[in-house]
Amino acid sequence: MSHYDELHRYLLNAANVRGELVRLEDSLQKIVHSYEYPVQIQRLLSEMAAATCMLTAILKFKGEIGLQIQSKGPVSYAVINASHDYTLRGVARWDESLTALPETFAELIANGVLVITITPDEGERYQGVVALDKPTLAECIEDYFTQSEQLATKVMLMTDLSVPYAARAAGMLLQVLPSQAQNTDVSQDTEFEHVVKLSETLTEEEMFGLSVNDILYRLFHQEEVEVYPPHSVSFACTCSKQRSADALRNVEKTELLQIIEEDGAIKMNCQYCHAEYRFDSVDVEAIHAGQFVETRKDQ
């Protein structure tokens, strides 16, 4: 059993460390192949998807978590959003005038920041920001936990883009349990350091080729491991014609009717899944009368 598109959570009880392992395949395709992304952008989005999926463990309520990059480098913006039920969506923006993109993470997102946003369905939104001043995305996320949570954390992110239109991404997260997190310096926690060194022996071939059970046995067969049931991961977009209609309600009716007169219809496109929603004059009248009802999803 391959265990792709599943998030696996486990505890290393003796070491007082929690762990997560995720591998994405089908859930990744509509993110990295929704646009003509260069391979460097595909790799970045793949890593972000694996990382965001693991960060969903932060959510103790219904809502979303978003991992967003803003930078002054070739990649100006990239975001992956994940819900409490492990659905993913994402998009990136970059300087399309460039004939070639740099290969390194640091060059792609020069002078950038990482924004992690937690948005509960009910309650206030929380946002944390950390500078993207480390060589890899994984190290930047580790830095975020060190600064905001004071928790020693190890993050490993891997991608496999060798097969066209069959991108794969994987991630592993290890974190000291809060009750044991007096020290944020990994080197001061010998149990955590030992577990990290074991995880660093895992190769990309093993990560993408072995089953999850075999990976955990390969790394931690001498440890006391408690494994929880996995969570399925999938792509899903929250867009709808109704949501687009709700947005149009904030625009003057005369302005909307003018657009329809000039263009034949109002066209609204989702940046995540590229669904297109069209509105005619009858729709506009219904929207501003508070009587619009979505009947179908125009693609």
Q: Give the closest residue to 51 by CA, choosing from 158, 207, 164.
A: 158
Residue type at position 107: E
From edge to edge, which strands make up the β-sheet containing 126-131?
A: 126-131, 113-120, 63-70, 75-83, 87-94, 234-235
Q: What is the mean pLDDT of residues 55-79?
A: 90
Which of the four CATH numbers 3.30.420.40, 3.40.50.970, 3.90.1280.10, 3.40.50.300 does domain 241-288 have? 3.90.1280.10
pLDDT tens for each residue of 4-49: 999 999 999 989 999 999 999 999 998 999 888 999 999 999 999 9
- For the chain, give the mean pLDDT: 88
Rg (CA), the chain: 22
Say yes or no to pLDDT of 295 above 70: no
pLDDT at 1: 46
CB atoms within 10 A of CB 186: 18
pTM reported for the whole predicted model:
0.85
Q: Where are the domains of the chain?
A: 6-235, 241-288
- Residue 193 structure tokens: 């350091």
d(CA 14, CA 66): 32
d(CA 286, CA 94): 38
CB atoms within 10 A of CB 110: 13
DSSP string covering 192-212: HHHHHHHHTT--HHHHHHS-H
Q: What is the mean pLDDT of residues 54-60?
A: 83
Place domain 6-235 in its CATH homologous superfamily.
Answer: Hsp33 domain (3.55.30.10)
pLDDT tens for each residue of 258-273: 988 888 888 888 778 7
pLDDT at 2: 63
pLDDT tens for each residue of 188-205: 567 899 999 999 999 999
Q: Residues near 67 by Cβ (< 8 Å), separated by ≥ 6?
A: 48, 51, 52, 55, 79, 80, 81, 114, 115, 116
Q: Give the closest residue to 286 by CA, choosing from 275, 295, 299.
A: 295
Q: Are 278 and 298 in contact (CB under 8 A)?
A: yes
